[in-house]
Amino acid sequence: MAALQKSNKKRSATSQSGPAQKKVHLDKAAKSSKQQRRQPITASAPVAQDDSDDDEAWTDEDVVAGEEEHDEADMNVDSAPSAPKDPNAAREGHKAQKLLQDQRKASKPHSNLLLDAKRVWSLARQKNLPTEERQKHIHDLMDVIRGKVKDIVLKHDASRIVQTVVKWGRQKERDEIAAELKGKYRELAQNKYSKFLVTKLIRLSPTHRPEILMEFRSHVLRLLLHREASSVLADAFELYANAYERTILVRDFYGKEAALFSGGEDREKAKRGLQGVLDGLDTEPRRRILTATKESLTTVFNNPDKGAVTHAIVHRALWEYLTAVNEYPDEAEREKQRREMFECCQDVLTEMVHTKDGSRVVREFLAFGTAKERKVILKTLKPHIERMCLDDEAQLVLFTALDVIDDTKNLAKTLICEMTSPAPKLYTSPQGRRALFYLLVPRCRRHFTPAQIATLVETDAAREQTSKKAADVRSEEVRRAASDALIEWVAKNAETIVREPGGSLVVAEVMLYADGGQLLITFHTSLV
């Protein structure tokens, strides 16, 4: 009872301490500001970055529990659990178990080294340490593990010790650890503990980054389909690698023959991706490389449960493949290759729209697709339209659908109604307002940047070939289909909406351009 009262007092004191609460909020804000990979629209909640402060989240109790869990499991198997009646017998049993546990720990390799490292690590990993004191502990810790990093890094506790050195140490310690682990990065990336260390080294040791990525070469597809290594490759490609380093990873999709025909490591040529490999080749080598690229992509799409379809590296390879297919001289062959690839990935299109290349791929399928294929795409995207309206890249897919689809009646039922119904949520953010503006004033320079308009113009050439309806007629029908829902929403909530700067812009565009919007002017003026 006394312990319970003491814990309640402690909880009450903690809840009433303003500065402590402020510090917690600041810590959360600092963590949320870290660079993270873009998550797919279909994700129910934001997924935390895989390598975020993994060493700090590991408490001393977790370390002890991690060391003892296997030993206790073995002892439980050997001896059936029975509660002795004699207290002395229980005490003696605990002593015997502790002695056996210590013996087993001592028999493990590098046991003394890990004990020394954990002693120093417990000091180096503390928060709110002065820089000089922390660097002293990091230096001592580095002295303990120097030359043994490769032997201990695969262990669950030792991996976090090395992560602490990489995170808090100076560049000299980071580069020393990176050099010591050379030749073992592929194995480390596939381990559920050491994969965080690999990501930290890719981020914090840029001089060794090309060497690390080169060790993944010729194994990229296998690593992408690996449960642990997939996130390491995704982070390296999307967050930390430069243009040339990305080509090192993407080139594995082209097949082994691409290395023979590419003619060495020309950096400028390599930055052009698949197109740089295909330039200057005859028809047969081009066909074989494109076939190998298609097979690599098919392997990824046939394993959607592995999660690789959400990664930007796959979307980049797919976009390069479609770009190369568009240069086939035979139109029938172009359509055949594009249709086969669409059939292969049509079920996972919603996993692509959140990245730049993935958005371009889906827009390409919309622009060149048949009426049936466009209906399939809309049906796939419909459950996620609200979230797509709030994403910079995904909303471009919706805008392209409004630009190229001729069946505006079906468009009103499947897409436009899903964009207007969440208007109370959309108008509060710039991305959501753009989605509402595109229904009324598409590509208007008041609301869309030149870069966004240039991106949307990319599909206009394909629209001229695949769409029969004139662009201005289609835009008028889209505006008319969206007007009733937007006018009704503004009429009911105008007094609240116009009090916000972004909301007033939306109300103005609805009044000026929606069918029947002029009737709202008198109502809006009376409110003001």
* CA gap 228, 16 in Å, rounded: 42
Q: How confident is the model at residue 256, as a pLDDT?
A: 84
Which residue type sits at 128? N
Q: How confident is the model at residue 259, as a pLDDT?
A: 73
* CA gap 246, 357 in Å, rounded: 13
* CA gap 30, 127 in Å, rounded: 14
DSSP-based three-state secondary structure for 522: helix
325-329 long-range contacts, CB within 8 A, separation 24+: 325/290
Tally of residues, the chain: 528
Q: How confident is the model at residue 260, as a pLDDT?
A: 72
Q: How far is CA 143 from the centre of its chain?
A: 36
Residue 429: DSSP 8-state: S
The domains of the chain are located at 51-62+108-208, 217-352, 398-528
Q: How confident is the model at residue 266, as a pLDDT?
A: 62
* CA gap 278, 294 in Å, rounded: 14
235, 51 Cβ separation under 8 angstroms:
yes
* CA gap 158, 162 in Å, rounded: 6
List the structure tokens of 456: 């949307």
Looking up tokens 């109604």 gives: 417
241, 232 Cβ separation under 8 angstroms:
no
What is the pTM (predicted TM-score) of this model? Answer: 0.81
310, 351 Cβ separation under 8 angstroms:
yes
Residue 203: DSSP 8-state: H
CB atoms < 10 A from the CB of 148, how many? 15
List the structure tokens of 424: 């109370």
Q: How confident is the model at residue 69, as a pLDDT?
A: 43
* CA gap 475, 513 in Å, rounded: 12
DSSP-based three-state secondary structure for 471: helix
Q: How confident is the model at residue 66, as a pLDDT?
A: 45
- Tell me the average confidence (pLDDT) per consecutive run of 10 residues in the chain, 528 residues long: 47 43 41 69 59 48 44 45 61 72 59 81 88 92 88 83 92 93 94 92 93 92 93 93 89 84 62 82 88 94 91 95 90 92 92 94 94 93 94 95 93 94 94 96 94 94 90 94 92 88 91 76 51
